[in-house]
Structure 1
Amino acid sequence: MSSEAFKQEPTLTSMFQAIDRIDTQFPHGYNDLKAVVIGGGTGAPVSIRTLLSMGIQTSAVVAMADDGGSTGILRAEAKVTPPGDIRKCLAAFAENPDDPFTKAFKYRFEFARNHTLGNLMLSALEEATGSFPEAVKICGKLLGSKGRVYPSTLNNVVLNARTLDGRTLHGQATACKSETALDTVWLESAGQPMPYVEAIRAIYDADFIVLGPGSLFTSIIPNLLVPGIPEAIERSKAKTIFVCSLADQQGETWGLSAIEHVDALRRHGIGRNLDYVLIHSAEKIAPRPPLQDSFEAIAGSGALASAHQENREGKPLSANIRSVEVTYEDIQKIQQDGTVVLVRNMVDPQRPTWHYPPALARAFADVFRLNTPSSGA
């Protein structure tokens, strides 16, 4: 049997090895805290695994707009609910990552149209039970899941986007590969999408709501576009934490600064309901004059020409990595509405586009301490 035919995605394997190296001691009182992670399939699992490692009771609300790869094929040909991002979050909740079933659940078969076993199982169980939530629940039990995963909606939705240079893109897979930064996204469906009631309940029950990390416009924001989700966040007692991306490797947020990430969230439903923003910086942020050579989001003829030039030179946008810019002045602007910004060095030393779980855990702990009465109080 060829092991090359059975591959696991690196985002579900190697990035989680750092979880076992978290050496920060967290108070046992954290076991009473509840957190819900809102996002997609790549960044959200990092927060899920990190929070679980801290003893936090964790659940996840997941975007349902994925239409690329294996999920896209299943949506188009089998008319199923998109399983991909749900599968990745389920894998993150698995009790034992080395369990044979858990490893098999994450296998991707290049010889079978690049499908994953997890996607096929979720779709087959949806057909067998007549219920996607029931399919998710069954897979969770098989994985020994340490938390629940909820779709943000069960409606058939398509994500559309408008770029900063005015183009309209159809579909999540197309939007996330945009050559220029996105400005606005919206959901298209046969009728108004309805929020999944268990997702709403998880938001109401949480002490902390964690947005991200992950793709801003195609993983995090699609959840906020479901009517009822932003309202639940607003009414919840929970404190809301946004984990800002630390580097750009794809076009949808290409060149956007940290404050532009926050502004996009606020425009797309989060409004003033943002209590904390975690931003990466390897250096201390101090007041400084504006940088003349800072990279701006690709928009307009000049910047768009620059993007095309990079492609002509054989350096597509996806091959470049740029840190998300953050300045002292932008931090002050973000905090004007009462949002607290915490700047920490959170980059994975081996993977410059990924958050390092031990560092992310320490940043979460700082937020929890700000909201937990001290023992001497």
Structure 2
Amino acid sequence: MTYNDKVIHVTRSRRPQVVVIGGGTGLPVVLNALKEQNAEISAIVTVSDDGGSSGSIRNFINVVPPGDIRNVLVSLSEISQEEKDVFQYRFDSSDSFFSGHAIGNLIIAALNEMHGNIFDAVQALSKMMRVDGHVYPASNEPLTLNAEFVDGSIQAGEKEITDKDKRIKRVWVTNTKSKSEPEAVPPVLAAINNADAVVLGPGSLFTSILPNLMIPNLGEAVRKTSAEVIYICNIMTQKGETDHFSDCEHVKVINEHLGGHYINTTLVNGAKIDMSKFNPNDYDAYLEPVKNDYQGLREQGSRVITADFIDQRSGLVFHDGKKVAKEIINLAFAAMARRKD
């Protein structure tokens, strides 16, 4: 397969180059805010999701799960809000196929068939949606997430892993349709190599962040990059993944999977969360605020930046994208200055 030279060649500019790696609902929040900060953004998106509309489409045709890619495209798009709403619309129909499907997922699947691979499909759709930045699937092939639990048992499949509700020891990815080793395409590696800041998260530790880093050549690119590697620690622990984890335990798991101390800076929330605002029926997947362990983070070789990073105005709790983005941009500019020295 060949790739457009304009895509592979990542040029430096006056704008800080920020690579964000992950998936899930937290990623678009940060990307939206970074876009407002005028960063040159490359989003590397997880392709191992096997639930909901994405999983259903994946079961019908050989395509990576499109859900996270769809949300990231919208977050960086310059099209009108009405056009975004159409792209995000989910069918509320009794039809056995269309019910629950997002229009954007179907468009991504169609473009995948037209172009013959998901990478070229996403680049074509990025152009149509006037995306400010780059959106790269972490792999050009659908991947299956595998986990070994502390008790020694093994499970495949993202949903199946979290449904086990057991302590996870380690995860890895395999190609869903072949026995070849998973790999990231050259533009992904080039973006990481040329970045001023590489951001991990926010998102589910074992199912949104680590699946990307477990792609061998992508993980190696993160280990070798001279960029500032930043982890945005989750605000709440997650049932079936990070029950009762501290911020240090999140970072320790990432470092153990990468094989060394590779997180340069961790952004952690230091503000008190009003648990009385939670609706247990809406938030039953989350258990408690992530505990702070600043000493443990420093022992992991990570600088710690703590602040009020939460937005709980809706009653739920999310990262305040603007506050997080400002910290990322400051760290990216500092990395740019070090490179010039």
| Aligned match of 1:359 | 323
One of 104, 120, 132 as aligned partner of 1:134: 120
Residue of structure 1 aligned with 2:243, choices 254, 269, 276: 254
- How far the C-alpha of 1:373 sits from its partner, in A, is 4.9
TM-score of the superposition, structure 1-length normalised? Answer: 0.76
Residue of structure 1 equivalent to 2:161: 175
**TM-fit CA distance, 1:192:** 1.0
Q: Contact 1:58–1:148 (CA<8 Å) still a contact in 2?
A: yes
Write the letter of the residue equivalent to 1:339: S
- From 294, 301, 320, the counterpart of 1:338: 301
- TM-score for both structures, normalised by structure 2: 0.84
* Aligned sequence identity (%): 33
Indicate yes or no: 2:115 matched with 1:149.
no
> What is the deviation of 1:333?
2.7
Question: Map of 1:1-377 to 2, 5 A cutoff?
Answer: 32-96=15-79, 98=81, 100-111=82-93, 112-189=98-175, 190-269=179-258, 271-282=260-271, 318=284, 320-327=286-293, 331-350=294-313, 351-368=315-332, 370-371=334-335, 373=337
Which residue is equivalent to 2:10?
none
Contact 1:250 1:317 in 2 (8 A): no
| Structure 2 Cα separation of the partners of residues 373 and 132 of structure 1 | 36
User: Is the contact made by 2:297 and 2:304 (CA closer than 8 Å) also made in structure 1?
Assistant: yes
Structure 1 CA distance for aligned equivalents of residues 334 and 188 of structure 2: 26
Q: Residues 332-362 of structure 1, C-alpha deviation per residue, up to 9 Å, x if partnerless? A: 2322353201111111122543101222233
Separation in 2, partners of 1:365, 1:152:
23
Displacement of 1:91 after TM fit? 1.1
Contact kept, 8 Å, 1:251 with 1:318, in 2: the verdict is no
Cα distance change on mapping 1:162 and 1:337 into 2, 3 Å: closer
Task: Kindly provide the amino acid, as one letter, of the partner of residue 258 in structure 1.
Answer: D
- Seen in structure 2, the aligned counterparts of structure 1 residues 252 and 101 have a Cα distance that, compared at 3 Å, is same
Give the root-mean-square deviation of aligned CA atoms: 2.5
Number of residue equivalences = 312
Where structure 2 has 5 or more consecutive residues not aligned to the other structure, the ranges are: 1-12, 273-279
For 1:337 and 1:281, locate their aligned partners in 2 and report how far apart those are by CA, in whole Å. 19
Per-residue Cα deviation, 1:53-98 (whole angstroms, up to 9, x for no partner):
1111111111111111111111111222221211111111111451
- Match of 2:216, SS state, is coil
Task: For residue 166 of structure 1, report the CA deviation from its aligned partner.
Answer: 4.6
Q: Kindly provide the CA deviation profile for residues 190-238 of structure 1, in whole angstroms up to 9, marking residues without a partner as x.
A: 2211221111111111110000101111001000110111211122221
Residue 169 of structure 2 aligns to a residue whose secondary structure is: strand
- For residues 149 and 80 of structure 2, the distance between their equivalents in structure 1, rounded to whole angstroms, comes to 39
Residues 258, 326 of structure 1: 8 Å contact kept: yes
Structure 1 residues 188, 85: CA separation in 2 closer, same or farther (over 3 Å shift)? same
Q: Which runs of 5+ in 1 are unaligned?
A: 1-29, 284-313
